[in-house]
Structure 1
Amino acid sequence: MLKLGIIGTHWITDQFIDATVKNGHWQLTSVYSRNLQRARDYGEPKHATEFFDDLDNFFNDGSFDVVYIASPNVLHYQQVRLAIENDKHVIIEKPAFTNPDEFSQIEALLQAHPTVRLIEAARHVHTPLFAAVKDQLNEMNTVQGATFTFMKYSSRYDQVLAGETPNVFSPEFAGGALQDLGVYPIYAAAALFGEPDTVVYFPTMIDTGADGKGGAVLKYPDFEVTLNFGKIANSHMPSEIYGLKDTLVMDNIADMTEATYFDENQKAHKLDAVVPDNSMSPEVDEFTKVLEQPNDLNNLKSYETWFKLSRLVNSLTYSLRESAGIKFPNEQ
């Protein structure tokens, strides 16, 4: 049984905990919040038994094996450091870190703690339907590019319009569209096509100093992948991968529930794959195997693949931000 500690008490944590309950190999034991009463209010209905409002005490005294971190982006690096130094496995919500320097420092720390596993939670690339898309892509004779879209209006933008600066739109907290919803299409492109030659990002900046939405182009040797993402508008456009006469269409690159392959005669073939009620369940199931038996050769191979992909996504996200001249205060 994997004992779980959590940092971040909101809806995405609810979804993760629900996936661990469905998996059956996890027990929530420990909850951290800056407010101790909030930690209790959140954790007690979920049968947690330990509550903390001090991070050092959480990591030193908590009885958990794995910590799930879903805090504001700018806090990830320091919290992951504390976890690794205390030999806790880490599942970190995307984006894991804000720049390659942070990633490199954590990678070096992991080498000093070789039994610890660090996994970035990118749920969409672990689903059976994403695997089916990848299999279909490998059968396409020609690839001429792709367009991935994920644009969803954030209720927090109402606060921005009212003159406030919520964390998700604050440069101080490493917020903005690229560092949030943009990570989903970047992950998909990296998982499906690998590392591009060059990248460029064209952001729409908002009053808080963050990017509200934007478009990015990833240039590969023989094609381009265009990414459209944002938090200040809604898009209902599908995502597509272009062959020659054939096309692979996905309803939503981040929350995929349907994918269809149109062959050269434009005949539709719906990809057959299970779509779970909880989109985090497939990643939790895969993470469970790796964390319960970390030295199994297949599990070790999976972990190394995820880690390399996480490193690539971190590098691409930073390069896109750099191309647009977006800097965060903690980096200056």
Structure 2
Amino acid sequence: MSPIPFATIGTNWITHSFIASAHSTSSWTLSAVYSRNASTASTFCARYDSDSPSPITQHTSLASLAADPHILAVYIASPNSLHYTHAAQMLAAGKHVILEKPSTSTLAELAALFRLARAHGVFLLEAFRHLHEANFKLLKQSLGRIGTVTGASFTYAQFSSRYAQVLAGADPPPNIFSLEMSGGCLVDLGVYCVAAAVELFGEPDEAVYFPVRIATGADGGGHLVLEYNDDKKNNNDNKSDDSTNNTPTGNTKAAPFPLHISTSKIYTSSAPSEIHGTLGTLTLPSITDISSVTFFERATGTTHELGVARGDDVKGALNMREEALEFARIIQEGDAEAAERLEELSKRVLKVTEGARRGCGVVFGVEREGGRKWGEGV
């Protein structure tokens, strides 16, 4: 099939990662870039023009991008609070949207976007890159090895250089630490752990967040406890699958158990992520860019490497290649079933993070009086 011509909204580092990963698959071609600033758009395009089969169009208005007949899909990595309006405009124009996590500020906004996508016959896909990695799929297939799940701990903590700006009293603060821009650690890094938990075990019965609040009012990090109490529900939701068609095998059991998530943007941790069971433990060195999956077998006291060697990483990019391949396949094949499965996952993940966040008083500007109120316009 011909490569999918796509555009980008957002000119930060993760956009460069997606472009590099997408181009490495030969399934995508960057055809347009949006930035409010013409100089920024020009500089951004110059990085890719020499490798492009045709000149990359520069747009300085969203209306112009939405009207571009040559664009089939748009990758959106703008500030979190703008995801809803940017995605809505592109979906209404009949373009597929790949929306960088976190999808939207609220669950109401996300539900509205999915309705809009269906109305216009296009797909909305949230970019949980780690769930498409070969070793994450292998982890899911391997859950049955540990017997009945009795607990788990996931960690994603990485110091952000932008926190130094917060400490220096930057006003306004960096977007990622601004409640007005729907920022904070839970929705930026913690969401990777939540997405992994929901994909592996389904929606938890309870989610309680203990945030570390910083000067901006946002959470710089924190500890999230997910409680899984309903064994029948977990067995239905927690389905091992093969790496090609996500066919459920239902071979994993789960007793009531807690899942602990530690996340931060104000310190860095090298702690592994683990899933414990009656027969052993599965261990990952990290929850994203998974290089290894080990199984400690309690009966023999031995440790087995289950992971597969990762393919060649795209230089200077995050591991987004497998995600780019799957999203291209869904769009090119019109795989509505796969898209609907990802839709359900996105809704469940946002339900968890929104509930946990609001439950401890971390409220975004769009939810407060005077802002775009929760659900307004959706």
Is the CA contact (8 Å cut-off) linking 1:50 and 1:62 kept in structure 2?
no
In 1, are the aligned partners of 2:199 and 2:345 still within 8 Å (CA)?
A: yes
State the secondary structure of the residue aligned to 1:181. Answer: helix
Contact in 1 for aligned 2:114/2:124 (Cα 8 Å): no
Q: For 1:49-79, what per-residue CA distance to the aligned partner results, in whole angstroms no more than 9, with x for missing partners?
A: 2101111111113621110000110000000
Partner of 1:306: 342
TM-score by length of 2: 0.84
- The question of 1:207 aligning with 2:247 is answered no
Whether 2:69 is the aligned partner of 1:34: answer: no
**What is the CA–CA distance in structure 1 between the aligned matches of 2:144 and 2:338, rounded to whole Å?**
19
Contact 2:145–2:280 (Cα < 8 Å) also in 1: no
Partner in structure 2 of residue 73 of structure 1: 80
Instruction: Please name the residue that 2:137 is paired with.
Output: 131
User: Aligned partners of 2:272, 2:69: CA distance in 1, in Å?
Assistant: 44
For the residue of structure 2 that corresponds to 1:171, the secondary structure is: coil
Q: Distance in 1 between matches of 2:128 and 2:196?
A: 9
Q: After the TM superposition, which parts of structure 1 deviate over 2 Å for at least 4 consecutive aligned residues?
A: none
Within the alignment, does 1:219 sit opposite 2:227 as a pair? yes
Name the residue aligned to 2:108: 101
Query: What TM-score comes out, normalization by structure 1 length?
Result: 0.96
Tell whether the 8 Å contact from 1:20 to 1:26 is kept in structure 2 after alignment.
yes
Task: Name the amino acid aligned to 1:73.
Answer: N
Q: 1:254 Cα deviation (Å)?
A: 2.2
Q: For the residues of structure 2 that align with 1:315 and 1:124, how far apart are their CA atoms?
A: 19
For 1:330, the equivalent position in structure 2 comes to 366
- Written as runs of structure 1 = structure 2, the 5 A alignment for 1:1-332 is 1-47=3-49, 48-61=55-68, 63-113=70-120, 115-164=121-170, 165-221=173-229, 222-264=256-298, 265-276=300-311, 277-278=313-314, 279-294=319-334, 299-332=335-368
Counterpart of 1:267, as a letter, is T
Residue 250 of structure 2 corresponds to none
Query: Does the 8 Å CA contact 2:227/2:257 hold for their aligned counterparts?
Result: yes
Distance (Å, rounded) in 1 between the aligned partners of 2:163 and 2:289: 21
**Distance (Å, rounded) in 1 between the aligned partners of 2:166 and 2:177:** 8
Instruction: Determine if contact 1:154/1:231 at 8 Å carries over to the other structure.
Output: yes
* 1:201-244 per-position Cα deviation (integer Å, ceiling 9, x unaligned): 00000001110010000000110100000100011100000012
Instruction: Select between 208-217 and 135-144 the one with higher mean Cα deviation.
Output: 135-144
1:75 match: secondary structure: helix
Please give the secondary structure, in 2, of the residue aligned with 1:143. strand
* Paired amino acid for 1:300: A
SS in structure 1 of the partner of residue 263 of structure 2: strand
* Residues in 2 aligned to 1:108 and 1:302: alpha-carbon distance in whole angstroms: 16
5+ residue gaps, structure 1 = none
Return the alpha-carbon distance in structure 1 between the equivalents of residues 69 and 62 of structure 2: 10
For these two proteins, the number of residue pairs brought into alignment is 327
- Indicate the larger mover: 299-308 or 35-44: 299-308
